[in-house]
Amino acid sequence: MGFDQYHEPAHELPDDVRTFARLCASLTEEAEAIGWYEQRLAVESDRAAAAIMRDAQGEEFKHFCMDLEFLLRRTPLWRDIARGILFCEGDIVAHGEEAEEAAVEGAGERGDDVVGSGSLGIGSLRQAAR
């Protein structure tokens, strides 16, 4: 068994980063499986076999979404950007650019940990003042 999900020596990584890396690897595997089932379904002529694979692909959809939700909960900046792109009608690239700009700017104003600084993320409290 390999440990390819770690780009840095695993013993130097804190627990939460190792968990994060595992879920990133899992997300990748689910996406690969979804693609594989898509290809198999495209060439399968046996209806019963196709039904089973369609059901299996549905499982991968679910796993992919659960992995993604976990990662987004752990990464507020990623979540903010995703919120501006996912389930939005219109130009995906334009939404992406706008969401990234707004999310990074917002994170900076809040003092969020954008680059892994270890900050408590307090930042400006202007919005909190009554």
Q: Is 14 in the site for another protein (CB under 8 A)?
A: yes
What are phi and psi for residue 98, nearest 5 degrees? -65, -45
Among the listed residues 4, 16, 46, 89, the single contact to another protein using CB under 8 A: 16
Alpha carbons 81 and 102: distance in angstroms, whole number: 8
3-class SS at 71? helix
Binding string to another protein for residues 66 to 105, with x set by CB under 8 A, is what?
A: ----------------------------------------
Among the listed residues 76, 84, 96, 123, the single contact to another protein using CB under 8 A: 123
Which token pair is 122? 């307090």
Alpha carbons 52 and 55: distance in angstroms, whole number: 5
List residues near another protein by CB under 8 A. 12, 14-16, 108-109, 111, 115-126, 128-130
